[in-house]
Each structure stands twice: as structure tokens, then as C-alpha cells.
Amino acid sequence: MKKNPRRRFLQFAPLAALTGCATKPAATEEEQLPSQLGKPLSAYGERSKYETAKRLVPEVKRPQIGATRTPLAEIDGTITPASLHFERHHAGVPDLDPAKHTLLIHGLVERPAVFTIADLKRLPSETRTHFVECAGNSGNEWKSPGAGDVVRGFGLASNTEWTGVPLRILLEEAGLKKEGKWFLAEGADVCKMYRSIPIEKGLGDAMIVYAQNGEALRPEQGYPLRLLVPGYEGNANVKWVRQIKVVDQPGQAKDETSKYTDLLADGTARQFSLVLDAKSVITSPSGGQKLAGQGFHEIRGLAWSGRGRIDRVDVSTDGGKTWTRAALQEPRLPMAFTRFRLPWAWDGQPVEILSRAVDESGYVQPSREELTEARGGNSQYHYNGIKQWKIEADGSVKSV
Ligand SMILES: Nc1nc2c(c(=O)[nH]1)N[C@H]1C(S)=C(S)[C@@H](COP(=O)(O)O)O[C@H]1N2
Ligand SMILES: [Mo]
């Protein structure tokens, strides 16, 4: 057997000794299972029947209203499969016929326009990978660092590849007037949810997307069209989008006044805090998991920022006393999940592990104390404090 090159990198004892699960001296081919004739070809693939990762579906009275969560601790790499992308609906998933659905661009434009899906697909398109995170993700952590595991505490965030038309092209096509300072985006679901977005974002990286991970958007993510505003809080990424109205001031929608604002300690509120600050979480080992034993473990996690690329992730395995720089998986994309990893040998003693992200703007993910100091204790949204997991002597991991 070839020597494992990581042994040198790890500078620990050989992996076999650390994990107790590597090569057996007397391993032979006879111990392998026989090869088999497989099942026939198929037109649309399915995952292996042995795989069980699922979205966490809450028990709710009205199944149209609520959220399911991405099991981030059960996903490898950076891309969230579309079938596991979290969902947040205010009035269920509408059944929209792409042959009938249209997008209206109106308001402060010279030539109001209606685009069919076919029209949109003829226009120059772009493909980019971005996360979507609900501003309510990790909201429980404000009150108490109660999130027992990654899915409950962090599962309102996912990261997929999106394809669509830059909104700028549509605004230019319609002849944006100079009085246009904001646009209102509205979806075709009955909740009549809408959001106000600064026009600079519309002329910048906002997109009207029709595809996700190489296929059409999933109905749960806004089929057939969704507004994507990279790095902005999830709510602003209006699904099933059917109109964009250019206006001279924000509309003061429900979701930007009573919801998704942060009431500060001095009684004022943070409003239109659309850009999500840098955040990270160790997904393995994480709450609810159990380490198989002492020795080698790769600490793995995810980091993301609404301000651009992740520049650095530091990991502490001693409760925050000392920090080590984790390896970041390339390519690091702006406003996208970045996978970080750190080889680690657990000595079997209780420890606390933490991660801290730094983005390319220089922003450093705050501790829970620093964040509460700045924002007070009233908020339910935009929590991005450092997350700490405790590993007990028996290997079980819990939230602290
Ligand atoms: N039309 C419409 N757009 C919507 C919503 C909705 O209920 N209706 N929910 C918003 C919220 S609160 C979030 S967090 C994101 C969730 O996107 P996802 O369901 O694709 O994960 O969509 C946003 N866009
Ligand atoms: Mo949300």
C-alpha cells in the first residue's frame, strides 16, 4: 500500500494508529464482496437507497407557512443539492406554468416591459454560485446558545449554482429613469410579499434566475423565476418573481419594517441591513454527533459572507485560548460557502471547539459577547456570532 502523504502533513502518529481503522496486516481480496449485475439505465437519477440526509421538516399547523432546514452537517463540499436546499414559504409553493408566467418591469422606466421565460432565456445569461441565508437563521442564539445541532441552528442557509439574466440588462432594456432609486420585487404567491432593494444592487450583481445546479429552479426555490440578490438576507431573494417596480423610495413592506429589522438597546431599529455579515460554523464535529474515539479527526466547517470572499478561518480547539488557521477549499467564491478543514488529534479530554471567519473586507466574525454588546438583546435576526461546540470525554458533542 502507498504511504499516506497526509502522515507527513499531519505531523501526528500514523493514521492507522490514530484512528484504529486503517490497513489490517492480513487483508486479502477474498474478504471483498462479490461483484454484481446492476439495475437498468434510468432517465432521471436518484441517490442511493442507503443515503438518508433529509431536510428537517417542522411540525406546523399550516404546512404552507414555515421553513425546512438544510442538514448542513450531512453535506460534503460546498454545493447544496437542490433537493436539500432549505425552504422558507409564507404561503406555500405555487404551481406556476412557465408558458404563462411573465415578469413585468415597470414604474420609473421609459418603456415598461413584460418578459416571458422564453424572452429571458434568449438574453445574455450568467452562472454564479451563491449562498442564500434567512436573516432568521441562528436566531435562537440571541436568547441562549441553544441550537443543539447544525441543522436547527444553521440550516436556514444553503449554497447552489444559479443561472439567469443580470437584472441590469432588463432595467436598461426598459430604460431606467434617473429618479429610480429603489425597486420593489414581488412574487406570485398569495402572501403578496415584496421587498425594496436599492437600485445599485439592481444595476450590480442582482439576477433574475431560472436555473439552479444545472437544471430548472426547483418549485420550492421559485420556479420558474426568482430574484437573486447575492449576499443579501434571504427574504430579499423574492421567489416566483413576477414584477419589478422601479420607485424613488423604499416601499416599507411588512418584511422590512415589522420583520427583519433589529430593535437595538437604545430603542432605535436597524433597518435595511440587507448585507449579511461573515459567519462560520464547524459542521463536524458538531452538536448531536459522537466522536468514534480519540486520535485523528478532521475538523470541517463552512464559512460565508455577504461582503465577498472568505479570507481566513481560524479554529480553536481549546475554548478560544489559541487559534489555528484552517485550510480553505479553493476556489473561494464571493458570497458563497467556503469549506474549511483542520487536521486535529483529540486526546480524549473534554474540549470546546470554535471557528471564526474573516472576510475580504477585513470584517472579523464577532464573539457572542461582542455581538450582543453591539446589538443588545432584543433582536431575532442577523445573528452571526462565533459558535462553540463542546466535546465531552465520551465523545458526545453538544451546543454550549
Ligand atoms: N415570493 C416569496 N419569496 C420569498 C419568500 C416567500 O415566502 N415568498 N420567502 C423569503 C424568505 S423569508 C427566504 S429566507 C427565502 C428562502 O429561499 P428558499 O426557500 O429558496 O430557501 O426566500 C424568500 N423569498
Ligand atoms: Mo427568511
* Domain 87-270 shares a fold with domain 279-399: no
Q: Is 237 in the pocket of ligand 1 (CB under 6 A)?
A: yes
**Domains of the chain, residue spans:** 87-270, 279-399
Q: Which CATH architecture has domain 279-399?
A: Sandwich (2.60)
Q: Is 55 in the pocket of ligand 1 (CB under 6 A)?
A: no
Q: pLDDT value at position 19?
A: 60
Q: pLDDT value at position 173?
A: 96
CA of 134 to the centre of ligand 2 (A): 4
Locus of grid cell 501526528 = 12
Q: Which alpha helices (DSSP H) does 291-365 contain, by range?
A: none
CA of 14 to the centre of ligand 1 (A): 48
Q: pLDDT value at position 8?
A: 47
Q: Assign domain 87-270 one CATH number from 3.40.50.150, 3.40.50.10280, 3.90.420.10, 3.40.640.10.
A: 3.90.420.10
Q: Is 89 in the pocket of ligand 1 (CB under 6 A)?
A: yes
Q: pLDDT value at position 288?
A: 96
* Residue 380, φ and ψ in degrees, nearest 5: -120, -10
Atom of ligand 1 nearest to the CA of 255: 12
Q: How far is CA 322 from CA 11, 47, 99, 348, 369, in A?
A: 19, 41, 58, 19, 18
Q: Is 217 in the pocket of ligand 1 (CB under 6 A)?
A: no
Q: Residue 88: nearest ligand to its CA?
A: 1
Q: pLDDT value at position 21?
A: 55
Q: Is 233 in the pocket of ligand 1 (CB under 6 A)?
A: no
Q: Which of 237, 254, 276 for a ligand 1 pocket mutation test, highest count of atoms within 8 Å of Cβ? A: 237
CA of 5 to the centre of ligand 1 (A): 45
Cα separation, 241 vs 245, in Å, equals: 11
Q: pLDDT value at position 2?
A: 38
Q: Is 138 in the pocket of ligand 1 (CB under 6 A)?
A: no
Q: Is 88 in the pocket of ligand 1 (CB under 6 A)?
A: yes
Q: Residue 229: nearest ligand to its CA?
A: 1
Q: Is 191 in the pocket of ligand 1 (CB under 6 A)?
A: yes
Q: Is 185 in the pocket of ligand 1 (CB under 6 A)?
A: no
Q: Which helix (H) or strand (E) holds 381?
A: none
- Tell me the pLDDT of the chain (400 aa) as tens digits: 334 444 444 555 556 555 655 556 677 888 889 999 999 999 999 999 999 999 999 988 888 889 999 999 999 999 999 999 999 999 999 999 999 999 999 999 999 999 999 999 999 999 999 999 999 999 999 987 766 899 999 999 999 999 999 999 999 999 999 999 999 999 999 987 899 999 999 999 999 999 999 999 999 999 999 999 999 999 999 999 999 999 999 988 888 887 888 888 888 888 888 999 999 999 999 999 999 999 999 999 999 999 999 999 999 999 999 999 999 999 999 999 999 999 999 999 999 999 999 999 999 999 999 999 999 888 889 999 999 999 999 999 999 8
Q: Residue 258 region, left (φ>0) first, then alpha (ψ -120 to 50), else beta?
A: alpha
Q: pLDDT value at position 3?
A: 41
Q: pLDDT value at position 255?
A: 86
Q: pLDDT value at position 341?
A: 98
Locus of grid cell 480553505 = 328
Q: pLDDT value at position 258?
A: 79
Q: Which of 88, 103, 244 for a ligand 1 pocket mutation test, highest count of atoms within 8 Å of Cβ? A: 88
CA of 132 to the centre of ligand 2 (A): 9
